[in-house]
Chain A
Amino acid sequence: PPHSTALPSHFMKGAIIQLATGELKRVEDLQTQDFLRSAEVSGGLKIDSSTVVDIQENQWPGFVTLHFIVGEQQSKVCLDVPPEHPFFVYGQGWSSCNPRQTAQLFALPCHRLQVGDVCISISLQSVV
């Protein structure tokens, strides 16, 4: 079964996030550009576009299974997460399967994550 640990507190509204540029921002103030710029200067990491193609109830209570198509290679990746887990959607910001629960737990304003949303994810930069 997936780990049923609580989500880390970096999703809590007001949490201080350090960008790769050294700049500090609150988690709720982050924008798409912050992630893109951070990946640019971090070296070794790259941002992928991960499109949500399916959201399913999980066999384990309290979890949902998200299906993504990731990056240029269009790889299929599944992720088991609690419904309150926030993902950063391009041009939209924080989004979760259950925004109400996210607000209760983290006070983080969220949109509802939907099939077709394009999330920000990271992977290792391939060395050519």
Chain B
Amino acid sequence: NVEPRSVAVFPWHSLVPFLAPSQPD
């Protein structure tokens, strides 16, 4: 018997940097 292999699924937002602009005063 072959164990089913789990495949990792990554969320789209993990691929792009979170660049939070600083809040204006």
A residues near B, CB below 8 A? 8-11, 15-20, 24, 27, 30, 34-35, 38, 42, 45, 47-48, 50, 68, 70-71, 73, 75, 77, 79, 87-88, 119-124
Contact = CB atoms under 8 A, between A and B. Distances in A.
B9 A18 contact: yes
Contact of B19 (A18, A24, A48): A48
A15 B21 contact: no
Contact of A8 (B7, B13, B14, B18): B14
Contacts, number: 78
Contact of B18 (A10, A75, A122): A122
Contacts of A34: 12
Interface of A is mostly: strand
A75 B21 contact: yes
Contacts of B11: 17-18
**Interface size classification for chain B:** 10 to 19
A16 B8 contact: yes
A121 B12 contact: no
Given A15-B8, A79-B17, A87-B17, 15 more contacts: A8-B10, A17-B9, A18-B12, A19-B12, A20-B12, A30-B15, A34-B12, A35-B16, A42-B13, A45-B13, A48-B21, A71-B21, A77-B19, A121-B18, A123-B20
B4 interface: no
Contacts of B10: 8, 10, 15-18, 27
B22 interface: yes
